[in-house]
A and B are shown apart, each in its own frame.
Chain A
Amino acid sequence: MRPLDRTSLVAGLVITLAGAILLLDRLDVIDVRFGYGLPLLIATVGAILLAAGLEGPRDRG
């Protein structure tokens, strides 16, 4: 069975979350201004990098 790729999992989750927030903004359910959108984007990238770093080295053999 293929081992769990934590980086891909976290990346998928945070990008899905960010996409959902932007979709809600388009549907006028919430109002995402630039002041909120930029932190959202930065936090998404940060979470992915953090997950990749915590997962450790792979395929170095």
Chain B
Amino acid sequence: MTVDDGAKMAGMSATASLRRDPARGVLAGVAAGLARRVGIDPLIVRVGFIAASFAGGFGLALYLLAWALMPGDDASRAPIERIAGKRETWLVVLGMMLLALAALLLLREWGLWFSDAIVWPVILTAAGGALIWRQSTATEEPPANRPAAAARGESRLPSVSLPRDAVGRAFVGAALVVGGGLVFLWLNGALGAARDVLLAVVVVVVALTLILAPWWLRLVRGLSAERTERIRSQERAEVAAHLHDSVLQTLALMQKRVDDPREVAALARRQERELRAWLNGRRLSGDATVALALEAAAAEVEEAHGVPVEVVAVGDAPLDERAQALVAAAREALVNAVKFAGPVALYAEVDDDHIEVFVRDRGPGFDPAAVPDDRRGVRESIVGRMERHGGRAILHTAPGAGTEIELVMKR
């Protein structure tokens, strides 16, 4: 693309969208931007704004509104977007507010009205209250790279704090509620009396704050420390389970195949790739759904251990975080089975409510109570992992009776 082409495209983009044009503008470039958008002389728009300003200041209000909503020509965001977040949301909110205001004015004109002293404060307070309640349901964006975040020790529990945008909107809501109350008092002639009461309340609140602040701070710090410790503990368990499933298992395989340097090098390369992918928060290809991920895990185990693994999957589901934990637990169950029991079968059933996976072998079986404490395979990588993600793992085994591990995860 040549420089001229770029300039043409930039020009086309500028004319296609409604943007302020400060370079050709007198004040903020609103009239120039509007004129460019509709293809007329900016002077006509300016005359229109000035004429409308003499009609009760409507033109001035319209100019300010347009300035707040129109982004700049240099790809800068609109002022209201810089202050309050997504521009389209505010356009919809403003549009609906204006339509509601028009409807209210019509009702007032028709006499279907209580009183100005009641309706306007109630509307302001209700709008502010709705805004505050809406923000109270907003949650912090979860870390995009869950495994990488886990590796860095970041939280995967929902945060109790609000996003910055939500805090700003909650303040606007609080201001509307307080404003509604003040307007109500003013319109009902009770602002003077309310001032005395308010002063007394402020004094009491300040005194209580000074008295209770140390205890409150200690409580908040204690809760925060407890939460941090809980998160760290969970992350440690998750990292330990992953290292056991991947690195330790590969090292064990490499010891078994020490006579074959090429095989050992291949195992090391594959483990390195898998570990790097996990640290970078990427999944290996071919595992976008539960069934595909189970088949990939089975193929990987079959290839690494040279023992056949039969997979039957009924139904399928997207591979979300909990499903990933289930697949990891199933993979560990497969590894245990091929190591100790020979050929193994995996049966998966996915319905609207649950994902169930059964890993069966006809090996010698074992006594779970006799497993030493330092063996983490079943206890941490299967049972612990499933429980940490809200699922359960049930072990059906006995010496001489084969083994079946049942994994159940809610969707």
- Given the interface pairs A50-B99, A53-B88, A53-B95, the reply to whether A42 lies near B17 with Cβ below 8 Å is no
B232-255 with Cβ < 8 A to chain A: none
- Set of chain A residues within 8 Å of B69, measured between Cβ atoms: 49
Does A21 belong to the interface (CB within 8 Å)? Answer: no
A46 to B104, CA, bound (A): 13
Number of interface residues of A (CB under 8 A): 23
Determine if B96 and A46 form an interchain contact, defined as CB atoms under 8 angstroms apart. yes
A46 to B93, CA, bound (A): 9
B45 to chain A minimum Cβ distance, whole angstroms, is 14
The answer for the CA separation of A51 and B92 in the assembled complex, in Å, is: 8
Question: What secondary structure prevails in chain B residues at the interface with A?
Answer: helix
Contacts of A57 in B (CB 8 A): 87-88
Contact code string A32-61 (vs B, CB < 8 Å = 1, else 0): 000110111111011111111111111100
What is the CA–CA distance of A47 and B106 in the complex, to the nearest angstrom? Answer: 16
Q: Contact check, B95 vs A58: say whether CB atoms are below 8 A apart.
A: no
Could you jot down 20 A-B contacts, CB within 8 Å?
Answer: A35-B108, A35-B109, A39-B109, A43-B99, A46-B94, A46-B99, A46-B101, A48-B95, A49-B91, A49-B94, A50-B92, A50-B99, A51-B95, A52-B88, A53-B90, A54-B88, A54-B92, A58-B16, A58-B17, A59-B16
Judging by beta carbons under 8 Å apart, are B62 and A53 in contact? no
Which chain B positions have C-beta within 8 A of A41?
58
Minimum Cβ distance to chain A for residue B34 (Å): 11
Tell me the interface secondary structure of chain A in the complex. helix
Supposing A53-B89, A59-B16 touch, asked if A40 and B102 sit within 8 A by C-beta, the answer is yes
Q: When A35-B105, A36-B106 are in contact, do A53 and B92 touch as well, CB less than 8 Å?
A: yes
Query: For residues 1 through 47 of chain A, which have their beta carbon under 8 Å from a beta carbon of chain B?
Result: 35-36, 38-43, 45-47
In-complex Cβ contact of A59 among B13, B58, B88, B102 (8 A): B13
Whether B87 pairs with A36 at a CB distance below 8 angstroms is no
Shortest CB-to-CB span from B96 to chain A, Å, is 6
Which residue on B lies nearest to A46, using beta carbons? B98
In Å, the complex CA distance between A29 and B109 comes to 20
Given contacts A43-B98, A53-B91, 4 further A-B contacts (CB under 8 A): A35-B108, A39-B101, A42-B102, A54-B92
A56 to B96, CA, bound (A): 15
Q: For B105, list chain A residues within 8 Å (CB).
A: 35, 38-39, 42
